[in-house]
Amino acid sequence: MRILLVEDEADLAATLRKTLVESGFSVDLTVDGEEALWQAEGAAYDVIVLDLMIPIVDGWEVLKRIRARGDRSPVLVLTARDATIDKVRALDAGADDYLTKPFTLDELLARIRALIRRAAVSPAPVIRLADVEIETSARRVTRAGAAVDLAPKEYALLEFLALHRGTLVTRTVLYEHIYDDRDDSMSNLVDVYVSALRRKLGRGLIRTCRGSGYIIDAS
Amino acid sequence: MVTWSLRAKLLAWYSLVLVAVLATFAALAVWTVWQSGLRDFDSRLTATASVLARAINLDSSGRYEVNLTGPDLAEFTVSDEGPYYAVWTSAGLLIDRSDSYIDPASPRVPQVRSRGGNREVVVAGNQGALVLVGDSLGQFRSDLWRVILGFAAAAGIALALALGGGWFLVGRALAPVERIGETAEAMSESNLGLRIDVTRTEDELGRVATSLNRAFDRLQEAFERQTRFTADASHELRTPLASLMAELEWALARPRASGEYQSSLAVCLRAAQRMRGVVEGLLTLARADAGAIETQRAPVNLASVVEDAASGVESIAAERGIAIRIESVPAIVEGDSNRLRELISNLLINAVQHSVAGETVTCSVSTLGPTTRVVVSDTGPGVGSDDLPYIFERFYRANKVRSRASGGAGLGLAISKWIAESHGGHIRCDSREGQGARFTVELPALVGNADQLPGNDATPRSPEPVDVRVPNAGTS
B125-146 pLDDT, tens per residue?
777 778 888 888 888 888 889 9
- B113 vs A: CB within 8 A: no
Comparing A7 with B294, the larger pLDDT belongs to A7
Q: Contact B73/B52 with Cβ under 8 angstroms?
A: yes
Average pLDDT on B424-431 reads 90
Query: Which CATH number is associated with domain B298-468?
Result: 3.30.565.10
Inform me whether the pLDDT recorded for A202 exceeds 90.
no
* Answer CATH for A126-216 from 1.20.1050.10, 1.10.10.10, 1.10.260.40, 3.50.50.60: 1.10.10.10
Alpha-carbon distance B215 to nearest alpha carbon in chain A (angstroms):
25
Question: What is the residue-averaged pLDDT of chain B?
Answer: 81
Alpha-carbon distance B475 to nearest alpha carbon in chain A (angstroms):
18
B316-336 residues labelled b (16+ CB within 10 A) or e (exposed): ebbebbbbbbbbbbbbbbbbb
**Chain B, window 382-441: residues with a beta carbon less than 8 angstroms from a chain A beta carbon:** 400-405
Average pLDDT on B79-102 reads 76
Of A166-170, B60-64, B259-263, B309-313, the poorest mean pLDDT is in: B60-64
Alpha-carbon distance B228 to nearest alpha carbon in chain A (angstroms):
10
Average pLDDT on B401-413 reads 60
* C-beta atoms of B246 and A9 within 8 A: no
Q: How confident is the model at residue B403 (pLDDT cuts 50, 70, 90)?
A: very low
- B245 vs A: CB within 8 A: yes
The reported pLDDT for the residue numbered B447 is: 67
Q: Give the pLDDT confidence of A39-67 residue by residue, as tens digits.
A: 888 888 889 999 988 888 889 999 999 99
CATH class of domain segment(s) A2-119: alpha beta
Inform me whether the pLDDT recorded for B279 exceeds 50.
yes
The reported pLDDT for the residue numbered A105 is: 93
- Selected for mutation to probe chain A from B189, B238, B263, B275 (highest A CB count within 10 Å) is B238
Q: Return contacts of B78-85, CB within 8 angstroms, 24+ apart.
A: B82/B135, B82/B136, B83/B45, B83/B48, B83/B133, B83/B134, B83/B135, B84/B133, B84/B134, B84/B135, B85/B49, B85/B52, B85/B131, B85/B132, B85/B133, B85/B134
What share of chain A in percent tops pLDDT 90? Answer: 32
Inform me whether the pLDDT recorded for B453 exceeds 80.
no
The reported pLDDT for the residue numbered A63 is: 93
Average pLDDT on B224-250 reads 88
* Answer CATH for B204-289 from 3.30.450.40, 1.10.287.130, 3.40.50.1100, 3.40.640.10: 1.10.287.130
Q: Give the pLDDT confidence of B215-230 residue by residue, as tens digits.
A: 888 888 888 888 888 8
CB atoms within 10 A of CB A79: 25
Q: How confident is the model at residue A76 (pLDDT cuts 50, 70, 90)?
A: very high
- Domain ranges for chain A, please list them: 2-119, 126-216
Indicate the pairing of strand A97-100 with strand A47-50: unpaired
* C-beta atoms of B234 and A80 within 8 A: yes
Distance CA B425, CA B372 (A): 9
* C-beta atoms of B235 and A19 within 8 A: no
Comparing A113 with B291, the larger pLDDT belongs to A113
Q: How confident is the model at residue A102 (pLDDT cuts 50, 70, 90)?
A: very high
- Domain ranges for chain B, please list them: 6-141, 204-289, 298-468
The reported pLDDT for the residue numbered A24 is: 84
Non-local (6+) Cβ contacts of B343 within 8 A are B415, B416, B419, B420, B441
Closest CA to A41 of A73, A15, A1, A85: A73
Of A189-203, B70-84, B308-322, the poorest mean pLDDT is in: B70-84
Inform me whether the pLDDT recorded for B74 exceeds 80.
no
Distance CA B164, CA B18 (A): 13
Average pLDDT on B189-194 reads 75
Inform me whether the pLDDT recorded for A116 exceeds 80.
yes
The reported pLDDT for the residue numbered B457 is: 44
Rounded to the nearest 10°, the torsion over CA B93, B97, B99, B105 is -40
Comparing B189 with B386, the larger pLDDT belongs to B386
Average pLDDT on B224-252 reads 89
The reported pLDDT for the residue numbered B470 is: 45
Q: How confident is the model at residue A36 (pLDDT cuts 50, 70, 90)?
A: very high
